[in-house]
Amino acid sequence: MKALLVVTLLAGTAHARDWQGLLDRIQGGSTLHYELTGLSDIDDMATGPDQLVLAGARLHGFISTSRRWAFQGGIDLALGATIQRGGFAYDVALLPVGFVLRLGATSFVGVAGGIGALGATPTADDAMTLPLEAALELGSGVRVLGRARYSYLAFSGTGGASDAILEGMLGLRIGHHYEDFGFPSGNGYFVAASYREQAGERMVGLTIGYSIDLATPRHSRRDAE
């Protein structure tokens, strides 16, 4: 009985050491964007929205035991309106599956996929989407922000798969970089050019917003040991 107790305690200690080792190696980061996007069509078509304004937030994070690669996930929420037709518009997505390649203190390029929903009354039917997004954020205080997204319309109110939506954004943040408490971070306002192709209609516009980035210092497995 004593032997069993000793073995159990030792196993428990080893298990705790494994967990502590794992916790020591975990590193990651996150980004938060508040965005306001205004888009206007460049094709004179009756199908899609003429002008669209969306305001929302994007929260993404990544975590790993590697200093270079990490798993990532995120959530995007945006609400707005189709300006000239006075309709309600929304575009939300949950992107739980993805990975990033970390570059520098808080910079990264990455890809993520998931599920979403969007609609814009009265010009775009409510639809469930399967988005695949590539994103990059490079720099610290001054930071390049970019993303491109392909969203497959898995189901729409008209009853079937019909189309896809392409979106892109490329911008520049003028902000600050911090190293408070040993964590690299940054924040600031940004402006970006935006593109959206929906229901055969191309739209271009401007995104303005505020972004925050925060990460743990990158360290190799050897550093942690």
Q: Does 57 bind another protein (CB under 8 A)?
A: yes
Q: Whole-number minimum distance, CB 59 to another protein, in Å?
A: 9
Q: Whole-number minimum distance, CB 17 to another protein, in Å?
A: 29
Q: Does 36 bind another protein (CB under 8 A)?
A: yes
Binding residue for another protein, selected from 38, 48, 116, 131, defined by CB under 8 A: 38
Q: Binding segment for another protein among 64-72, 119-127, 131-139, 209-217 (CB under 8 A)?
A: 209-217
Q: Whole-number minimum distance, CB 152 to another protein, in Å?
A: 25
Q: Binding segment for another protein among 18-26, 35-43, 62-70, 146-154 (CB under 8 A)?
A: 35-43
Q: Are 36 and 58 in contact (CB under 8 A)?
A: no
Nearer to another protein by Cβ, of 14 and 42: the residue is: 42
Q: Binding segment for another protein among 2-10, 51-59, 113-121, 160-168 (CB under 8 A)?
A: 51-59
Which residues make beta-bridge pairs with 85?
none
Q: Which parts of 115-134 interact with another protein (CB under 8 A)?
A: none
Residues that bind another protein (CB under 8 A): 32, 34, 36, 38, 40, 51, 53, 55, 57, 77, 79, 83, 176, 178, 180-181, 185-187, 189, 206, 208-210, 212-214
